[in-house]
Amino acid sequence: MSSSQTQTYAQRAAKHPNPSAKALLDTIERKKSNLCVSVDVTKGDEFLNVIDVVGPYVCLIKTHVDIIEDFETSLIEKLQALSAKHDFLIFEDRKFADIGNTVALQYSSGVHKIATWSHITNAHPVPGPSIVTGLASVGKPLGRGLLLLAEMSTKGSLATGTYTEEAVRMARAHSDFVIGFIAQRRMDGVGASAAQSVVDEDFLILTPGVGLDSRGDSMGQQYRTPKEVVTESGCDVIIVGRGIYGTGNGIDIQAVQTQAERYRAAGWAAYLDRIG
């Protein structure tokens, strides 16, 4: 087993050079939570209500800010206030995928100004390394961190094999800004040549497609359990959306709280199993 897989979050936090990765690892350890809740709701009030309820149980809140219908700048101020109140980081799941110049503008500007409030964001490696340099020109001076999409949770995903290996190589060449991957398993040593020493690298693996009660949805999503993801596949953070806030109309806040604590406990137990 590789070193970062068997080390504690605290041990990894102590030596991680990227401020956002370090803060995330510290938060995970402090709150005993490797749970990230993905709050994919379309109304600002509902978005804030869900975050206020799950806040105590998470290390990270994942957003898709572009799906919020009544977005205004004050929503970000309220999100930041909740981040301070409940001690979690923010991850805008923007999945950038364009040329360096365009992604730098999308990250810094427009209505959402993602770089000003999101500690972590992500990008498809498909354009090549220029996407990382473009985003780094904005995010690195702010101490932000980037995740590359090395794999996806969906049925029939094309992000496999050599594509995944190239994503890891790209990260290795830009490890001052790329802090890890969205992936379904640990990436230690993936794509490395025999001559390359990768012993000291510590990429975080954040994993969507996690559910305790369902194996998928009708649109290609596939779910695995926290045990499969964290214990068996060596991932670091479980990302859960509908498993926590449900699929129906309207949100039952009491049920959201119960599910958040349930997933937090399952994710943490799976981690303790992994590190032994």
Which position among 164, 221, 225, 259 is part of the footprint of ligand 5BU (CB under 6 A)? 221
Q: Consult the annotation and say whether 80 binds a ligand.
A: no
Of 164 and 221, CB closest to ligand 5BU: 221
User: Segment 191-210, which members bind ligand 5BU (CB under 6 A)?
Assistant: 208-209
Catalytic hit among 93, 188, 202, 236: 93
Q: Consult the annotation and say whether 242 binds a ligand.
A: yes
Q: How far apart (Å, rounded) are the C-alpha atoms in residues 157 and 22?
A: 30
Q: Consult the annotation and say whether 140 binds a ligand.
A: no
Q: How far apart (Å, rounded) are the C-alpha atoms in residues 185 and 104?
A: 29
Active-site residue, 252 included: no
- H or E, element range at 120: strand 120-123
Is 225 a binding residue for ligand 5BU by CB under 6 A? The answer is no
Which position among 27, 34, 83, 153 is part of the footprint of ligand 5BU (CB under 6 A)? 153
> Any idea how long the chain is?
276
CB 186 within 8 A of CB 234: yes
Q: In angstroms, what CA-CA distances link 97 with 9, 64, 74, 107, 123?
A: 30, 15, 27, 11, 6
Catalytic hit among 78, 95, 140, 227: 95
Q: How far apart (Å, rounded) are the C-alpha atoms in residues 115 and 218?
A: 33
Which position among 28, 65, 131, 239 is part of the footprint of ligand 5BU (CB under 6 A)? 239
**Contacts with ligand 5BU, 12-41, as mask; x by CB under 6 A:** --------------------------x-x-
Is 241 a binding residue for ligand 5BU by CB under 6 A? The answer is yes
Residue labelled with tokens 């303790």: 272
Q: How far apart (Å, rounded) are the C-alpha atoms in residues 58 and 226?
A: 14
Q: How far apart (Å, rounded) are the C-alpha atoms in residues 61 and 244?
A: 13
Is 226 a binding residue for ligand 5BU by CB under 6 A? The answer is no
Query: 61 forms bridges with which residues in the sheet?
Result: 37, 90
Shortest distance (Å) from residue 150 CB to ligand 5BU: 9
User: Is 120 buried (19+), middle (13-18) or exposed (0-12) by CB count in 10 A?
Assistant: buried
Residue labelled with tokens 């473009």: 134
Is 145 a binding residue for ligand 5BU by CB under 6 A? The answer is no
Q: Consult the annotation and say whether 241 binds a ligand.
A: yes
Shortest distance (Å) from residue 198 CB to ligand 5BU: 23
- Count of residues interacting with ligand 5BU (CB under 6 A): 17
Which position among 240, 256, 260, 266 is part of the footprint of ligand 5BU (CB under 6 A)? 240
Of 13 and 183, CB closest to ligand 5BU: 183
The residue number whose beta carbon is nearest to ligand 5BU equals 241
Cα atoms in the 13 Å half-sphere on the side-chain side of 54:
38
The residues annotated as belonging to the active site are 93, 95, 98
